[in-house]
Amino acid sequence: MALIRLTGINRHYQMGSQLVRALDGIDVEIERNEYVAFVGSSGSGKSTFLNILGCLDRPTSGQYFLNGSHVEAMDHNELAEIRNREIGFIFQSFNLLPRANALGNVMQPLVYRRTGYRQRREMATEALRRVGLGDRMGHLPNELSGGQRQRVAIARALVTRPSIVLADEPTGNLDSHTSTEIMQLFDELHGEGQTLILVTHERDIARHCQRVIELQDGRIFRDRSMNAAEMH
């Protein structure tokens, strides 16, 4: 049974008198521990797709099956619960809470599942150590470099032990050296059994993945598995 199964996903917007078909009949299945990149130029429907995959938005029609639940029929609070339990978000611009330190940021998702303070702290510390920031836990986001911030964000995504990690242009704001480091971290996580889904427009980044899905005009244009020679 696939971890994710999308069937006939449409997402249409009404813009003035015009109907915009941001997503137009997407069918895709992703298995557990897959390492998938969605690529496409801007306007291809990447962001819309990411929002639906991340349960931030609901499809106009179609079915979304995530780890045993039908997501398309859920209300706001149920979606929040799914985001908290099943999904770890990583954003291009890190999106850390500016007033909380690294530890506080990583603990935050656990607040919404009513974890006690001490256990929260323990889990967050462990997650920060995993991404190599064991010595930066008390720093505020603006005291950290871009790469470090993204590591905090990754720790925040991992701390809830989600079934999928969803990364939206995770290296978009980083220099090439740091990008490589972050991508190595992703590779390691994949090696540990994590399911990873990246959205990117950079071929170099997509090359890390086993499977690359290209979107164009709201449709899947190409879906191919990379062989070992193409990777890296």
Binding mask 111-150 for another protein (x = CB under 8 A): xxxx------------------------------------
The site for another protein, by CB under 8 A, has a size of: 27
At residue 62, φ and ψ (nearest 5 deg) are 110, 170
Tokens of 218: 């709201």
CA of residue 185 relative to chain centroid, distance? 14
| 28 belongs to the binding site for another protein (CB under 8 A) | no
Question: What residues from 167 to 226 belong to the interface with another protein (CB under 8 A)?
Answer: none
- The one among 95, 173, 210, 216 contacting another protein by CB under 8 A: 95
| 45 belongs to the binding site for another protein (CB under 8 A) | no
| 156 belongs to the binding site for another protein (CB under 8 A) | yes
Site stretch for another protein (CB under 8 A), options 10-18, 53-61, 63-71, 123-131: 53-61
DSSP for the chain, written as a single string = --SEEEEEEEEEEEETTEEEEEEEEEEEEE-TT-EEEEE--TTSSHHHHHHHHTTSS--SEEEEEETTEE-TT--HHHHHHHHHHHEEEE-TT----TTS-HHHHHHHHHHTTT--HHHHHHHHHHHHHHTT-TT-TT--GGGS-HHHHHHHHHHHHHTT--SEEEEESTTTTS-HHHHHHHHHHHHHHHHTT-EEEEEES-HHHHTTSSEEEEEETTEEEEEEEPPTTT--
- The one among 29, 97, 161, 230 contacting another protein by CB under 8 A: 97
Q: What is the residue whose two structure tokens read 């908290």?
A: 84
| 76 belongs to the binding site for another protein (CB under 8 A) | yes
- The one among 5, 12, 85, 211 contacting another protein by CB under 8 A: 85
Site stretch for another protein (CB under 8 A), options 28-36, 78-86, 121-129, 221-229: 78-86
| 51 belongs to the binding site for another protein (CB under 8 A) | yes
* Nearer to another protein among residue 65 and residue 91 (C-beta): 91
- The one among 23, 96, 154, 220 contacting another protein by CB under 8 A: 96
Binding residues vs another protein (CB under 8 A): 51, 54, 56-57, 76-77, 80-81, 83-85, 89, 91, 95-100, 108-109, 111-114, 156, 160
